[in-house]
Amino acid sequence: RDEDGYIVASCPVLPGCHSQGKTKEEAIANITEAIRGYIISMRKHGEPIPAGEVEEVEVAF
């Protein structure tokens, strides 16, 4: 959790792709939306999409 009590989520494969939520479920939903938006933006700008698979999901409180 950050200093305001929010759960912070990030996607290491996509630099700068971060989100947060008041609950674990909200943080997961928000980072999922952020990842989708990030990839849409990359496609729009002709940038290569990083290849990778989810190897680990870590939740820390």
Task: Indicate the SS3 state at residue 39.
Answer: helix
In this predicted structure, the answer to whether residue 61 has a pLDDT above a threshold of 70 is no
Q: Report pLDDT digits (tens) over 5-53.
A: 899 999 988 999 999 999 999 999 999 999 999 999 999 999 998 876 6
Distance CA 6, CA 20 (A): 6
| pLDDT of 60 | 57
| pLDDT of 53 | 64
| pLDDT of 32 | 92
The confidence band for 2, taking pLDDT boundaries of 50, 70 and 90, is: confident
| Length of the chain, in residues | 61
Assigned architecture for domain 1-61: 2-Layer Sandwich (3.30)
Domain boundaries defined on the chain: 1-61
Distance CA 21, CA 9 (A): 8
